[in-house]
Structure 1
């Protein structure tokens, strides 16, 4: 990854994040404060991958770095999903798809609905990428 690509990615992602910051701050009314960090990381990664793709560049990631990043990501995901800020109630839903239907029926704030639906899909993409990177490799004993 060239220095020009890194700078372009940083400038574009920070501009996008700052433009959307008023919307993202609304999420703090309903969700864990870590949401802002997750949104920032997602924008940075998305823009970085887009810049790499359009510039025709690739990046090699050492296996140990990939595994330690995935472990750190898993820990932060556990905190984000299971530790709510004070004053927020954590409810359980045992009826499949009922929460998704309530999000789609406009019973909640549209921004929170969009964030929750996209986060439920997007937050688990790194695990799929990790499994994809291991495809074709023999299991280690």
Structure 2
């Protein structure tokens, strides 16, 4: 999108993003990240440790949520700080459909140092999965 600082106002909504996650996505992420914890691929193990089913990797969920900002800016390098709190796992059933993570963002502040704060909301199955999610972005003038 390549948004510019002069075009941004507090309260602006970022274009929403909806990202499907399947078990195959979890396997690919495990291979890329080296995180082969069985809670991310083995339903029996996941339920034995008290989870409702296999869950997505937290860092994968964080990456998916960050896309709402990087797609809005058109430049992932514009993000100078990004933080989240993991509040609920993304459950990924083995049903051919998987899960969906719905992400939205809102400009919550324009800072004196020329950066913009974006507050991020991420939901799966209509429930929040991240808390306190925000990014600080440096946009071109």
The TM tier, using the shorter chain, reads under 0.3
TM-score, structure 1 normalization: 0.24
| TM-score, reference length from structure 2 | 0.24
Q: Which has the higher contact order (CA 8 A, sep 6+)?
A: 2
Higher helix share: 1
Structure index of larger Rg = 1
